[in-house]
Amino acid sequence: MRAISGLWRWRHNPLCRPTDLAEAWLAFSALLLALVLVPVCGALTGTAAEAALQESVREQRAARHPVTATVTAALEDSPFSSDPEAAATGREVRSRVLADWTAPDGTPRHGKVTARIENPQPGERFTLWTDRQGRIVARPLDSTTATTHAVLAGVGAALLTAGLIESARRLIVWHMVRRRYARWDQAWDRAGPDWGRTGTGS
């Protein structure tokens, strides 16, 4: 912005080269393009991600069901329960247990699962997420988390767009500077032999 305003003030100055004005107009065009495209790309990406993630939330809620399981036995030497860093870092403690539960279709199930219980005891109850057949599945995505991911996707798209615009501007300026140096070299080659020799050729 300082370059644009500075060049605009002295655009009629005889020292202002056409390439200086070209760079200023390029910077101004890139700024306008960024002001338009960055929010548009961010909004479109965020909206599309939100729609896709919310559809995934609805599908997971329809396919996954919470059931109550009962601990029948705790399993020894669990890598989850034996982690000494779990309590220190505040991570959620999980234990491996044998448990019984009933699938949504009424089928009784029994197997090894992980429970959010620090010291599981037989008969203790906890919640599991299963599919319709009673197979263990992950907890479904919630709407708030989906919205957060969509916002992050929109912000990422906006930043990527801004970066691409600025990269394109810098690349064009780099080519302009190279051409300017090439013209300077050509002019120097023409004037070089007579440099410092007053009256040469007269």
What are 119-176's pLDDT values in tens digits?
Answer: 888 999 999 999 988 899 989 999 999 999 999 999 999 999 999 999 998 999 898 8
Read out DSSP for 148-187? HHHHHHHHHHHHHHHHHHHHHHHHHHHHHHHHHHHHHHHH
Q: What are phi and psi of 117, to 5 degrees?
A: -130, 130
Q: What is the pTM of this model?
A: 0.66
3-class DSSP assignment, residue 107: coil
Arithmetic mean of pLDDT, 196-202: 52
Q: How far apart are CA 66 and CA 137, in angstroms?
A: 10
